[in-house]
Amino acid sequence: MSEGLDVSEFITGYLAEADEHLTNASTLLVSLDATMRRRETNPKAVRELFRALHTLKGLSAMVGAEPIVDLAHEMETLLKLGDKAGGKLPESSVDLLLKGVKAIEERVKALKAKKPLEPAPKALVDALAALRVDAPTSTPAAALSLDPELSAKLALAEHEQLAQGLARGRRGRRVDFQPTPEKAAAGFTITAVRERVGKVAELVKVVPRATASGVVFALLVLTDATDAVLAEAAGAAPGQVTPITLNAPAAVAVDVEEDDARDDSEPAARDYVRVEVSRLDDALERLSALVVTRSKLERAVARLRDGSSDLRGLQAIVTENARQLRDLRGAIMRARMVRVSELLERAPLIVRGLSRASGKPVHLDVQAGDAELDKTVADRLFPVIVHLLRNAVDHAIERPEERRAVGKSEEGHIRIACADHAGRELELTVTDDGRGIDREKVAQRAGAPVPRDAAELLDLITRPGLSTLDAATRTSGRGYGMDIVRRVTVQELGGELKLDTRPGAGTTFTVRVPLSVTIVDAFSFGCGDETFVVPVSAVDDLAELEPGQVVATPDPNAAAAHVRLFRHRGAAIPLYLLGKLLGCPGSSAERPKVIVARQGVEAIGFQVDRLIGKQEIAIRPLKDPLAMVPGVTGSTDLGDGKATLVLDLGALASRHAFRKASA
Amino acid sequence: MTALHVVFKVGDVEYVLPASEVVELESFTQATRIPGAPPYVAGLVQIRGKVIAVVDLRARFGLPAVDRTLDSRVIVVRHQDRLVGLLADSARDVVKISPDEFRRPPEVVTEETDGFVDSIAQPGKRLVMKVDFAKVIGRQELPTAPKGAP
C-alpha cells in the first residue's frame, strides 16, 4: 500500500461489505459445526465460506488492512483444501475458523473506530497453518464395480473408503448373506456374521435388501483373506462372494440438490433418529423369526383341525412367540436410542450464543461419554439442558470484573457430564463455577422461610410461582424456567433432580432420568367406575385406609376436594379424595385404599376406591392441546382397547392447591 | 369442479366438512373422560391404535346432552398436523358441492354462532353449513404448569 493513497473514502463501503461477509461466514460456520458433529460433510458451506473469506481478503488488501489479509489468507487456504477434499475439514477447524472470524471482526471494529489494527494473532495463524498439514488430500473419485442399487446406498465416505482400500491393493469383496432358520440354528445370524466377517475383513457397509426369497444382506468388505475364508466366516457358499473392483476414475455422482435440501433440514431433523444399520438388521432378523413362528402356528392349527395333535404343541409355540415379541420389542427400542453426545452437540453453540449475548466469556466442557437415550427421553431432556445452561450463563456466572475481584479466572466455566447407570438411568450434571445460589435471597423473594438444606432450596426455586416473581427481577434472580426443568425431569420423565450449591464457588444440578420411558410398570386403580393408572416410580407406598387413621381438618371454604390428615408411618400427611379431584361421579367404597405419592420432599396421600393391579404399560404422550391438562401425562391401553389415563398425582394436587390459592 | 363433502347431523341441523379432510368415520360407544379438559371435550377414543381427543359437537354448539345412539359417529378430521374427532348425532351421506355454491352466512349468524359457521350451501333441497373446523376444535394454550389451569 502506498503511503500517499487516501483510502478513507473506501472505508465506509468496505465496512458495510466486510460486515456482510463476516455475518455470512458466522452463519456458515454454525451450520458447518452442526454437520461436522454429525460426522457429515457440507461441501457447499465450505465453498461458500471460502468465497466469503476470499472476497474479504481482497477487499481488506484494498484498504491496506494487512492483519485482516493475513488472517483471511490462512483461513482461505485451509478452506480451499477442504473444498478440494469434497468438503472435509480437520476436526478442530470450526473452532479455529470461528476464532479467526472473531479476530477479523475485532479488527474491522478497530478500523471503524479509526484505531490502529493489532497484528494477526500469531498463535491463531500458526494453528490454522498447522491444520493444513492434517487436511485430507483430495482423492480422485473412482467408480466401483458395484450394482448401482448397492452403490446408491453408500455414503461418499464409504465409497472413498472402498476406493482407497482398492487403490492400496486390498481386495474388495461383496458377500451375500441370507438368514434362514437353519443358518440361525447353526449360529449364523447377521449379528454373528458381521462379527465373524469383521475378524477377517474390514467391514465397510452392510446393505440389507428385500428380494423375492426374503431379506439378503450384502456385506461390502476390504480384506486380505481369500474368498474361501470369507465365505466360511459368513456361512455362505463361495459363489456368494463377488469381487468389487475399481473402474477407471470417473466422477462419483454427488447429488447437489440433496446438499441443498440438507441445508434447511435442521429444524425438521428432530423427528428422525439416526440408527446404526446393525440395529435395524437385528430387528429385521427378529421379525423373520416371528414369520417362521407364524407358519409353525399355521401347521399346528392344521394338525389340531385334523385331530392329529392336541393343545400342548400350541403352548410351546405361544411361549416361543412371547419370547420373540419381547426380543423384537427390545430390538426396536435399541433402534430408537440416540447418543447423548448427539443430543449435546448443539450445547457449545448455545453457550457461545448466550455468552455473546450476556457479554460474559464462558468455557464449556462437554463430557458426553457413550451413553444412549431413547429418542422420546432425549427430545424432552433437551429443553432441560438448555434451561440449565441458560441459567448458568445468565445468572450463575459473574461478570468478568466481578470474577477477577474474587480471584477467579475471568472466563466462567460450565461442565456437562453424563454417565449411564446400570443401563437403566442417565445421570447428567451441569456444573458452573459461578456465584452459587443465595438461600436468604431466594427465600426473601419467594416470601418463604429460609430453606434448611439443598433439597428444600431446590423445592423453592422450582416452584411454579417463583418464575412469575422472577420475571420482574430476572436480572439478579435465579429460578427462571426452573419449574419447567423440574416438571420435565420429575413429572414427565419420572426422574430425579438434585442440587448442590456453594456460595461463591458454584452450583451443580444433577438430572437423573430413565433411559427409556415408553414402557413402565404402573398401578391401575379405580375411582367410581373409571380406571386410571399411575407409574410405579411415582408411588411411594400403598396402604389400606383404616378408620381412625384419618383426621378431618377445618373446612371453612367447603372445598370440593377437601384435604384431611392421614397417619402414615409415624407422620401426618395430607390426604386427598382422588375421586373428587378428578370429578369422578359416584366415587365411594367400603374399603378405600391410599396411594402415597411424593411431591418434592413432601408425601401426599390419595384416597381411591380400589386397587386393581400392577402391570407394564406403554405410555402414549397426549399431544393434542384438547387433551393436554395438568395432572394427565398420557394415555395407555390396558388391553381393553380403550384409552386409560396415566395420572401425575403430584401435579393434580398442585393444580388443586393453585385453584384454591387463586379462588 | 365439485368436491365431496361429508354430511353430519347435530340436533336437527346438517353440517358438512370437505371429505378430503375427513380421515375416517367411526361408530361411537364411549370415550375416556379427561378431568380438567374443556367441557366440550367428550374425551379420548382409540381408533386403530391412535389416541384421539373427541369434541362433543352438541356441547360445543350449546345443545342439551342426549344419550348416544347406534347412529352416533366420530368423524376423525385431519387439521394441519392434528387428528381430532368430532362427535355428531349421525353422519350418513356425502354430497357433491362446488366451491362457488358456498356463500358467506348472514353477518348476524356469524356473530351469534361465535364464527363456528364458515359458509352455507344449498345442494338440492337441503341447506347445509360448513363448519369452521379450526374454531370448533379451539386454539388452546399449551398448559405449561399448574398455574396455566383455568
Give residue-wise pLDDT tens across range A559-570: 656 788 898 888
Q: Buried b / exposed e across A649-661, counting CB within 10 Å, b at 16+?
A: bbbbbbbbebeee
Q: Are residues A129 and A149 in the same domain?
A: no
How far apart are the C-alpha atoms of A453 and A500, rounded to whole Å? 10
List the CATH number of the domain containing A609: 2.40.50.180
CB-side exposure of B34: number of CA atoms within 13 Å?
30
Burial class of residue A119 in the structure, from the number of CB atoms within 10 Å of its CB (0-12 exposed, 13-18 middle, 19+ buried): exposed
The minimal CB distance from A642 to the residues B32, B137, B147 is found for B32
B137 touches A at CB < 8 Å = yes
pLDDT score for A477 = 40
| ipTM score of complex | 0.86
| H-run or E-run covering A399 | none
- pLDDT for A604 equals 92
Confidence of residue A189 (pLDDT cuts 50, 70, 90): confident
For residues B9 and B16, give the distance between their C-alpha atoms in angstroms, rounded to a whole number: 9
Residue B6, CA atoms < 13 Å, CB-side half-sphere: 21
Give mean pLDDT, residues A368-373. 86
CB pairs under 8 A between A and B: 95
Report the phi/psi class of residue B126: left, alpha or beta, with left for phi > 0 and alpha for psi in -120 to 50: beta
pLDDT digits (tens, 9 = 90+) for A327-363: 888 888 888 888 898 889 888 888 888 888 888 999 9
CATH code, A179: 3.30.70
Give the mean pLDDT of A536-548.
86
**Distance, in angstroms, between A461 CA and closest chain B CA?**
14
Q: What is the pLDDT of residues A613-655, one digit of tens each?
A: 888 777 877 878 898 888 898 888 786 778 899 998 888 887 7
| Residues A494, A567 within the same domain | no
A157 belongs to a structural domain: yes
Strand B22-27 relative to strand A610-618: parallel, antiparallel, unpaired? unpaired
Give the C-alpha separation, A302 to A305, whole Å: 5
Q: Which residue in the set A624, A643, A658 is minimally distant from B147, CB to CB?
A: A658
Judged by CB atoms closer than 8 Å, whether chains meet at A644 and B32 is answered as yes
Of residues B53, B144, B145, nearest to A624 (C-beta): B53
B109, B111, B112, B118: which is closest to B136 by C-alpha? B118
How far is Cα A654 from Cα A479, in angstroms, rounded to an integer?
Answer: 19
Q: What whole-number distance in Å separates Cα of residue A166 and Cα of residue A151?
A: 15
pLDDT band at A407 (very low <50, low <70, confident <90, very high): very high
Q: How far is B101 from chain A (nearest CA, A)?
A: 32
Contact B147 A464 (CB under 8 A): yes
- CB distance A468–B147 less than 8 Å? yes
Low-confidence winner among A215-219, A252-256, A602-606 (lowest mean pLDDT): A252-256
Domain count for chain A, please give it.
Answer: 5
Say whether A484 and B144 touch across the interface (CB within 8 A): yes
Whether B39 and chain A come into contact, CB under 8 Å, resolves to no
pLDDT of residue A559: 65
Q: CATH number of the domain that A352 lies in?
A: 3.30.565.10
- Structural domain including A608 reads 519-662
Q: Which residues of A touch B30 (CB under 8 A)?
A: 642
Query: Which amino acid would we find at residue A450?
Result: V
Range list of H helices, A113-214 = 122-134, 148-153, 156-167, 181-185, 190-200
Residue B47, chain A, CB below 8 Å: the answer is no
Half-sphere exposure of A622 (CA within 13 A, CB side): 31
Q: A441: distance to nearest CA of chain B, Å?
A: 23
Three-state SS at A233: helix
Residue A453 counted as domain residue:
yes
> Measured between CB atoms, does B138 come within 8 Å of chain A?
yes
What does the block give as the cell for A638? 390396558
A481 part of a folded domain: yes
CB neighbour list of residue A421: distance below 8 Å, 6 or more residues apart: A427, A512
pLDDT interval class at A238 (50, 70, 90): confident
Check pLDDT > 50 for residue A309. yes
Q: Are residues A612 and A479 in the same domain?
A: no
Which residues from chain B sit within 8 angstroms of residue A637, using beta carbons? 46
Which residues does chain A have within 8 Å of residue B38's beta carbon, measured at their own beta carbons? 626
Q: Which fold has domain B3-138?
A: OB fold (Dihydrolipoamide Acetyltransferase, E2P) (2.40.50)
Interface membership of A624 toward B (CB under 8 Å)? yes
**Beta-sheet pairing, A550-551 with A644-647:** unpaired
Q: Please identify every stretch of chain B with a pLDDT value under 50, giving residue numbers as ranges.
A: 140-150
Chain B residue whose CA is closest to A487? B145
Residues A39 and A97 in one domain: yes
What is the CATH classification number for the domain harbouring A22? 1.20.120.160
Query: Does the pLDDT of residue A156 top 90, yes or no?
Result: no
Per CB-CB distance under 8 Å, the chain B contacts of A468 are 147
In this prediction the pTM is 0.43
Distance CA A66, CA A70 (A): 6
Q: How far is B79 from chain A (nearest CA, A)?
A: 11
What average pLDDT does chain A have? 80
Among A626, A638, A652, which would you mutate to test the B interface (most chain B Cβ atoms within 10 Å of its Cβ)? A626
User: Lowest-pLDDT range, A3-17, A162-176, A636-650?
Assistant: A3-17
- C-alpha cell belonging to residue B135: 374454531
Q: Which residues of B touch A635 (CB under 8 A)?
A: 32, 44, 51
DSSP three-state, residue A518: coil
The average pLDDT across A187-210 equals: 85
| A272 domain residue, yes or no | no
The residues, any chain, with a CB within 8 Å of residue A42's CB and separated by 6 or more, are A31, A32, A35, A36, A87, A259, A262, A263
Q: Does residue A539 have a pLDDT over 70?
A: yes
What is the least distance, in Å, from the CA of B2 to any CA of chain A? 32
User: Does pLDDT of A530 surpass 50?
Assistant: yes
B contacts of A655 (beta carbons < 8 Å): 36, 146, 149
Smallest CA–CA distance from A483 into chain B, residue = B145
Residue (of A536, A538, A506, A537) closest to A523 by Cα position: A536
Closest approach of chain B CAs to the CA of A508, in angstroms? 24
CATH number, domain containing residue A316:
1.10.287
Same domain assignment for residues A525 and A480: no
Q: Do A484 and B145 touch (CB under 8 A)?
A: yes
High-pLDDT (> 90) share of chain A, %: 15
Residues A641 and A509 in one domain: no
Question: What own/partner pairs with CB < 8 Å and gap ≥ 24 does A67-70 have?
Answer: A67/A107, A67/A117, A67/A118, A67/A119, A67/A120, A68/A104, A68/A107, A68/A108, A68/A117, A68/A120, A70/A119, A70/A120, A70/A125
Element (H, E) at A639: none
CB atoms A624 and B83 under 8 Å: yes
Residues A580 and A498 in one domain: no
Residue in B closest to A622 by C-alpha:
B51
| A260 part of a folded domain | no
Pick among A488, A624, A656 to test the B interface (most B CBs inside 10 A): A624
Does one domain contain both A331 and A343?
Answer: no
- Euclidean distance between CA atoms A7 and A61, whole angstroms: 11
Q: Could you tell me if residue A2 is inside a domain?
A: no
How far CA A622 is from CA of A484, A491, A626, B142, B149, in Å, comes to 18, 14, 9, 12, 17
- Cα A467 from chain centroid (whole Å): 26
Whether A519 contacts chain B with CB within 8 A: no
Given a contact cutoff of 8 angstroms between Cβ atoms, the answer to whether A279 and A334 are in contact is yes
Which among A374, A418, A399 has a CA at the least distance from the CA of A509? Answer: A418
Q: Amino acid identity, residue A20? A: E
Here the cell at position A181 is 432358520
| Domain shared by A90 and A159, yes or no | no
Residue A633 near residue A623, CB atoms below 8 Å: no
B59 vs A: CB within 8 A? no
Separation between Cα atoms, residue A51 and residue A45, nearest integer Å: 10
Determine which of A23-32, A139-148, A165-174, A649-658 has the lowest per-residue pLDDT on average.
A139-148
Nearest to B147 among A465, A637, A643 (CB): A465
How much is the average pLDDT of A266-291? 74
Separation of first and last alpha carbons in chain A = 77
pLDDT at site B43:
95
Give alpha helix (H) positions in A362-479.
375-391, 400-405, 439-446, 454-461, 464-472
Q: Are residues A57 and A158 in the same domain?
A: no
pLDDT exceeds 60 at position A163 = yes
Hey, is the C-beta of A641 within 8 angstroms of any chain B C-beta? yes
How far, in Å, CA of B60 to CA of A421, rounded? 50
Q: Does the residue A267 lie in any domain? A: no
* C-alpha cell belonging to residue A646: 396415566
Is A257 contained in some domain? no
Name which of B46, B53, B148 is nearest A626 (Cβ-Cβ): B53
In a shared domain, residues A205 and A315: no
Residues A423-433 pLDDT 10s? 678 899 999 99
Contact check, Cβ <8 Å, A644/B145: no
Question: Is residue A312 domain-shared with residue A348, that is, in the same domain?
Answer: no
Sign of the torsion formed by the C-alpha atoms of A607, A608, A614 and A615: negative
Cα-Cα end-to-end distance for chain B: 46
- pLDDT over threshold 90, residue A400: yes
Nearest CA to CA, how far is B127 from chain A (Å)? 30
Residue A474's pLDDT is 38
Q: Which long-range contacts (CB under 8 A, 24 or more apart) does B142-146 make?
A: B142/A625, B142/A628, B143/A628, B143/A629, B143/A630, B144/A484, B145/A464, B145/A467, B145/A483, B145/A484, B145/A487, B145/A630, B146/A464, B146/A630, B146/A651, B146/A654, B146/A655, B146/A657, B146/A658
Residues of B in contact with A484 (CB under 8 A): 144-145
pLDDT for res A250: 41
- Contact assignment for A655 to B44 by CB distance below 8 Å: no
Return the domain boundaries, chain B.
3-138
Q: Judge: A530–B33 Cβ closer than 8 Å, yes or no.
A: yes
Domain boundary among A134, A163, A196: A134
Q: Which three cell numbers stand for residue A243?
A: 469381487
